[in-house]
Chains A and B, each alone.
Chain A
Amino acid sequence: MVEISRYKWPLITVVVVIVALMFVIAVGFTLGFLSENPDGLERVLIDINGEEWLENLISPWIPILSWVTNDYIAGIIGIVLSIAIMTGVFYLITYLKKRDTK
């Protein structure tokens, strides 16, 4: 049986992070502390080669979550995936490292 109380603070923190992110997305553009402008690398590429050139770069795949266009849903999916993958990989790492040291 998983002892939920042991994970109380991590769970609370994750909920706080999600709520804070949703709030930031909701008001960030209005208050001006968020921006949809291109980042540094995109800026350089657009300035020199143009936006169309950047959009037409060849990729071997269509990103499997590119259909998620809603920022709120993308934020939640990303956070949940980050937690799941990171905890899974680090459980595996600690398990393997302990096994190797025995």
Chain B
Amino acid sequence: MHIPDGLLDPITTIVLWIVTIAIMILGYFRMSKMFEKEDSEKMIPYIGVLAAVIFAFQFVNYPVPGGTSGHLVGGTLVGVILGPWASVIVLFLILVIQSLFGDGGITALGPNAFNMGIIGGIVGFYIVVLLVRLFNKTSLKKELKVTIATAIGSYIAIVLASFICGIEIGIGGAIPMEIAIPAMVFWHLIIGIGEAIISALIVFYIYKTKPDFILTESILGVE
């Protein structure tokens, strides 16, 4: 879902850049209290590892029926691990690195970070929160509640991001909106399955091996 340079019109691009920068600044101030603790530096090598994992998963494309491929976006996944505000910054930085390789445009960094970081990260995270609170009424184990909620949240977030991306392309005029939106949503309804599975597996693995790395447990409200 990496928007290339030249696809969106200048006004849409500028507006999405402004929104993304504003949310990243807000994100810095609202970021998890974890980053203010005395021993917070010990988390940083793990954040580096997480970045490596996300880059590696975004690097490899899995086949999707119909001559298409998909890859992890990871917004909701990072949101669940580091918090929604940190996820926008993480996704933005990963998109910067990918744009150096020509995967996603440099002028489209703002729109791409909006779709994958803000919709994928922040909106996806709050869908997970909602689902975890619903699952609290069941007898599921704690890690299963978060894992299943992450899978569903990632799926909804990626489809929603593709819907928003369809609107942006439609406004840009490259493809009429009535064609862009259903086409984007159709492919991402399929691609999202991979996103959901990979995100859920990573969250489950972290819960089993290093649960204190899930910094959002208190916000998730998992019981």
A residues near B, CB below 8 A?
A: 6-7, 10-11, 13-14, 17-18, 20-21, 24-25, 28, 32-41, 43-45, 47-49, 54, 57-61, 63-66, 68, 74-75, 78-79, 81-87, 89-91, 93-94, 96-98, 101
| B101 interface neighbour in A20, A47, A74, A90, Cβ under 8 Å | A74
Per-position contact with A for B59-73: 1 when CB-CB < 8 Å, else 0?
111111011111100
How distant is the Cα of A49 from the Cα of B101 in the complex, in angstroms? 24
How distant is the Cα of A63 from the Cα of B99 in the complex, in angstroms? 7
* Total A-B contacts with CB atoms under 8 angstroms apart: 186
Are B67 and A37 in contact, CB atoms less than 8 angstroms apart? yes
B138 on interface, CB distance cutoff 8 Å? no
**How many whole Å from A18's CB to the nearest CB in chain B?**
8
Are A39 and B49 in contact, CB atoms less than 8 angstroms apart? no
Q: Which residues from chain B contact A41 at a C-beta distance below 8 Å? A: 1-3, 162, 165, 184
Per-position contact with A for B177-202: 1 when CB-CB < 8 Å, else 0?
00110011001100100000000000
**How many whole Å from B197's CB to the nearest CB in chain A?**
12
Besides the known contacts A14-B48, A91-B41, 4 further A-B residue pairs in the complex with CB atoms under 8 A apart? A20-B56, A59-B105, A66-B101, A79-B55
How distant is the Cα of A23 from the Cα of B200 in the complex, in angstroms? 22
| A86 interface neighbour in B2, B6, B42, B90, Cβ under 8 Å | B90
Given A32-B63, A65-B101, A40 and B1 touching (CB < 8 A)? yes
How distant is the Cα of A37 from the Cα of B35 in the complex, in angstroms? 40
Are B93 and A89 in contact, CB atoms less than 8 angstroms apart? yes
Can you list 22 A-B pairs with a CB-CB distance of less than 8 A?
A7-B45, A11-B45, A14-B48, A35-B64, A37-B61, A37-B67, A38-B68, A40-B188, A40-B191, A48-B183, A78-B55, A78-B59, A78-B98, A79-B55, A82-B51, A83-B52, A84-B48, A85-B51, A86-B48, A93-B89, A94-B36, A97-B31
| B180 interface neighbour in A44, A68, A74, A89, Cβ under 8 Å | A44
Are B49 and A48 in contact, CB atoms less than 8 angstroms apart? no
Are B101 and A68 in contact, CB atoms less than 8 angstroms apart? yes
| A43 interface neighbour in B7, B102, B187, Cβ under 8 Å | B187
B44 on interface, CB distance cutoff 8 Å? yes
The interface centre, meaning the residue of A17, A25, A37 with most chain B CB atoms within 10 A of its CB, is: A37
How distant is the Cα of A10 from the Cα of B42 in the complex, in angstroms? 10
Per-position contact with A for B61-104: 1 when CB-CB < 8 Å, else 0?
11110111111000000000000000001100110111111100
Q: Which residues from chain A contact B183 at a C-beta distance below 8 Å? A: 44, 47-48
Are B71 and A78 in contact, CB atoms less than 8 angstroms apart? no
Are B100 and A65 in contact, CB atoms less than 8 angstroms apart? yes
Given A86-B51, A87-B47, A58 and B6 touching (CB < 8 A)? yes
How distant is the Cα of A45 from the Cα of B35 in the complex, in angstroms? 41
Given A35-B61, A41-B3, A97-B35, A66 and B102 touching (CB < 8 A)? yes
